[in-house]
Structure 1
Amino acid sequence: MTKLVLAIDDDKLVHHIIEEALSHFCKLIHAKNGDEGLRLAEKYHPDIILLDVEMPGMSGFEVCEKLKKSRRTADIPVMFLSSKSELAERMRGYNAGASDYVAKPFESDELIARIKVLDAYRQQSRKLTLDVRRAQITAEIAMTDSGDMGRIMRYVGQSYNAHDLTTLSDYFFEFFVPLQLEVAVAFWYHDTQVFLSGNGAMQPIEQELLSKHRDGSRFVDFGRRTIINYPKVSLLIKNMPVDDNAMYGRYKDLLPHILEATNAKIKDMEVSEEALSKVDQIGRVFEELSDQLAGIGGHHSSKVSEFGDLVQQINGLKDKQLTAEQVEALDKLYQHFSFVDDELSIIKFKLSDITEARHQLIESLNKIAKPWGEEEVAAQTDIELF
């Protein structure tokens, strides 16, 4: 299905460039200022809105804020097009409600790719909206029976039983449902970064902000958004109650506890994964040693046969006298067999040691990975704590 894209910009040249880039990919509507853009957005409800930042009259930020306040246009992803690419400008755009921010000049392929990402994000969001609403209703009922520390304790238990990022993130997002907080998270796992959102779809600008602030302060507040950073996890809260001092303080005291637990769990997962990798490495060495032992055994058998032939020759001599060459050959064979016997003994000893160590290591890792066996931990909404 062809996507409908609304371009709002006061520059005719930009409209021409957008037309050239997207005419074969989607249906375009053009608006020359913010007022016209708002009217067309309400009328046609486009799939994506491309919005200039600096325009006469209303700025792009003001237009975006109005779009997000309208129930009819609030869910339409907005992509800012601007000649300014500083982080402060991007944060301002995100605060206004934008889903992405592209610096001018841009390539056609880049613009198309980003539009596809935003469209996928919108489809995912729509699909998950109903599930999120149902979860919120259930969580609101349970919230009256569970205190903050109770939920933290439950999450710690759940995370202890999580052995991959998918399971951990499920428990993580479940924690925030009763709090009615919209969140996104970045897991800094080994040398990779994994971005996830509570509603299943992560906006490109959210990924960018989390990445850029990863090494920043523990708390980064901007508008109604807050980023909380730990070495292995960064949390983005999209609707921090900054106008409610009591609630704001409560969350700033509460959330570091769950992030500390998550940070520790990810470290444990990394250690476990590295340990399992070492086990695999040991297994490969074991196989190599086994192959080496087989090769030496074959060579040893050949020499035994050769030694047997020589003994038969000696037995066939009438006077049983050996030549100097035969004596030297026998001596060399004796040295060889002695060497091979020593080597085989050492290799067998090492293989036995490695086999035992590998067995013990696997048992230990299994105990760490599955400390509670297959027992399931109750969900946040399944218990009453306080």
Structure 2
Amino acid sequence: MTKLVLAIDDDKYVHHVIEESLAGFCQLIHAKNGDDGLRQALKYNPDIILLDVEMPGKSGYQVCTELKNNEQTKDIPVMFLSGKSELPERVKGYNAGAADYIVKPFNAEELMARIRVLYQYRQHSIKLKNDVERAQITAEIAMTDSGDMGRIMRYVGQTYHAHDLQSLSSYFFEFFRPLNLDVVVAFWYQDVGVVCTDDGGVCPLEQELLEKHRYSNRFVDFSSRTIINYPKVSILIKNMPLDDVALYGRYKDLFPHILEVTNAKIQDMEVNEKALAQAHTVGNAFNELASQLFGSSEARESTVAVLATQLAELRILLQQSCAADDQALASHIAQLEQTQLQLATLNDDLTFIEHQLNHIIDSRSELIDSLSKIASPEHTQDVTSQTDIELF
């Protein structure tokens, strides 16, 4: 399917650059100002809108706000085109409803890549829209049947059975659905951000804002949105009720409990993964050591046997010899016999060490199997959902 892109900009040269950059990649519609762009958006319902920030008449922020306030165009992803790269400008664009923000001048590859991401984001969102609506209805029913603390305890129990980010995020969003909040979560796993939403679509600006504010205050409020940060998890609430003091206060008391549990769970997952890696490393070292010991076992036994044979031959020669230094030779033979005994004892010790290494290797294999099962998604058992909570 050909992507339909609407470019809104007052600069003819920018339209020319966009035309050349996207030639053969998508179908373009051009609008010379904000009012013209709004008319074109309503008429053609494009897949993506490229929007200049500074234009005569309505600014790009005003146009974007009107697009997002219109039921017919609110779901169309908007990408701002601007010569300003500062974070406050990006936040302003995001608050207006944009999904991405690209700085002029841009090259064709970057523009196409970002359009491709936004197109996939919209298609995925459309595909899952009905499922999300059904889930919200179910969640609303659950909300009427259970209190906050009961749902927190349920979430704590569910996280016990979550051993990967996919299952953890599933329980996480299950908690938030009854609250009718649009949430984006970033798990900072091994210092790498894994960003998720309930419907599977994450726009680039949301991910960027979470990354930029990762080390900010615990609560960061802007417009109707709130970011809450913990060391291993951050959430962006896109429709926080900041104007409802009572409800906002309730959420500020409630959400830290959920994030603390999630933060602790991610730390536990990291420790398990590190323990598994260390078990593999130690086990491999023991395997290598055991292999070397086993490989030299036959050589040691052969050397001891050769030494015994040589001593026997020397004794025979000594008995047959009449040389004056027989006594000195006998002393040397006695020393060699002592060495033989020591070698035999050492060989027995090494054999015992080999036995112990085999025992350690077997124990290590059992440990790795246990850790692997814990870390495996298949290990997750069926857990009662938030909607199955029994009330007393």
Fold shared per TM-score above 0.5: yes
Alignment of structure 1 residues 124-143 onto 2, 5 Å: 124-143=124-143
Alignment of structure 1 residues 217-366 onto 2, 5 Å: 217-311=217-311, 313-314=313-314, 317=317, 319-320=319-320, 327=333, 330=336, 334=340, 337=343, 340-341=346-347, 344=350, 347-348=353-354, 351=357, 354-355=360-361, 358=364
SS at match of 1:227: strand
Q: Cα distance 1:364–1:208, how it changes in 2: closer, same or farther (>3 A)?
A: same
Post-superposition shift, 1:301?
A: 2.7
The 2-side partners of 1:138 and 1:61 are apart by: 36
The 1-side partners of 2:173 and 2:357 are apart by: 47
Letter in 1 for 2:139: A
Aligned to 1:23: 23
Aligned to 2:384: 378
Q: Cα distance 1:318–1:92, how it changes in 2: closer, same or farther (>3 A)?
A: closer
Residue by residue, what CA displacement relative to the aligned partner does 1:255-300 show, whole Å, maximum 9, x if unpaired?
A: 1110011001111111111111122122212211211211220320
TM-score, normalization: structure 1? 0.91
Contact 2:276–2:372 (CA under 8 A) maintained in structure 1: no
The 1-side partners of 2:31 and 2:40 are apart by: 8
Q: Cα distance 1:14–1:147, how it changes in 2: closer, same or farther (>3 A)?
A: same
Residue by residue, what CA displacement relative to the aligned partner does 1:337-378 show, whole Å, maximum 9, x if unpaired?
A: 2584276157337626744864785698589779xx875321
Post-superposition shift, 1:327?
A: 4.0
The 1-side partners of 2:105 and 2:16 are apart by: 13
SS at match of 1:193: strand
Paired residues in the alignment total 384
Q: Cα distance 1:298–1:231, how it changes in 2: closer, same or farther (>3 A)?
A: same
Q: Cα distance 1:17–1:279, how it changes in 2: closer, same or farther (>3 A)?
A: same
The 1-side partners of 2:381 and 2:207 are apart by: 35
Aligned to 2:68: 68
Does 142-151 or 309-318 show the bigger shift?
309-318
Post-superposition shift, 1:335?
A: 7.6
Contact 2:48–2:76 (CA under 8 A) maintained in structure 1: yes
Task: Name stretches of at least 5 consecutive residues in structure 2 with no aligned partner.
Answer: none
The 1-side partners of 2:373 and 2:149 are apart by: 28
Q: Cα distance 1:61–1:335, how it changes in 2: closer, same or farther (>3 A)?
A: farther
The 2-side partners of 1:236 and 1:335 are apart by: 74
Does 358-367 or 213-222 show the bigger shift?
358-367
Q: Cα distance 1:139–1:320, how it changes in 2: closer, same or farther (>3 A)?
A: farther
Residue by residue, what CA displacement relative to the aligned partner does 1:83-104 show, whole Å, maximum 9, x if unpaired?
A: 1111111111111110000111
The 2-side partners of 1:344 and 1:26 are apart by: 73
The 2-side partners of 1:367 and 1:99 are apart by: 39
The structure with the largest alpha-carbon Rg is 2
Aligned to 1:47: 47
The 2-side partners of 1:328 and 1:296 are apart by: 27
Aligned to 1:13: 13
Letter in 2 for 1:247: L
Alignment of structure 1 residues 201-212 onto 2, 5 Å: 201-212=201-212
Post-superposition shift, 1:305?
A: 4.0
The 2-side partners of 1:320 and 1:288 are apart by: 49
Post-superposition shift, 1:319?
A: 3.2
Task: Name stretches of at least 5 consecutive residues in structure 1 with no aligned partner.
Answer: none
Letter in 2 for 1:137: I
Alignment of structure 1 residues 165-184 onto 2, 5 Å: 165-184=165-184
Letter in 2 for 1:381: T
Does 349-358 or 291-300 show the bigger shift?
349-358
Contact 2:162–2:380 (CA under 8 A) maintained in structure 1: no
The 2-side partners of 1:142 and 1:35 are apart by: 44
SS at match of 2:179: coil
Letter in 2 for 1:29: I
Letter in 2 for 1:206: E
Q: Cα distance 1:140–1:311, how it changes in 2: closer, same or farther (>3 A)?
A: same
Q: Cα distance 1:152–1:194, how it changes in 2: closer, same or farther (>3 A)?
A: same
Does 86-95 or 283-292 show the bigger shift?
283-292
TM-score, normalization: structure 2? 0.90
Matched, 1:121 2:121: yes
The 2-side partners of 1:23 and 1:82 are apart by: 21
Q: Cα distance 1:143–1:332, how it changes in 2: closer, same or farther (>3 A)?
A: same
Does 375-384 or 128-137 show the bigger shift?
375-384
Post-superposition shift, 1:73?
A: 1.0
Residue by residue, what CA displacement relative to the aligned partner does 1:98-127 show, whole Å, maximum 9, x if unpaired?
A: 000011111211111111111111111111
Letter in 1 for 2:112: I
Contact 2:273–2:375 (CA under 8 A) maintained in structure 1: no
Q: Cα distance 1:332–1:19, how it changes in 2: closer, same or farther (>3 A)?
A: farther
The 1-side partners of 2:12 and 2:230 are apart by: 46
Residue by residue, what CA displacement relative to the aligned partner does 1:7-53 show, whole Å, maximum 9, x if unpaired?
A: 10111111111111111211111111000001111111111110001
Q: Cα distance 1:320–1:269, how it changes in 2: closer, same or farther (>3 A)?
A: farther
Give % identity. Answer: 61
Aligned to 1:97: 97
Post-superposition shift, 1:331?
A: 5.9
Contact 1:289–1:347 (CA under 8 A) maintained in structure 2: no
Q: Cα distance 1:162–1:205, how it changes in 2: closer, same or farther (>3 A)?
A: same
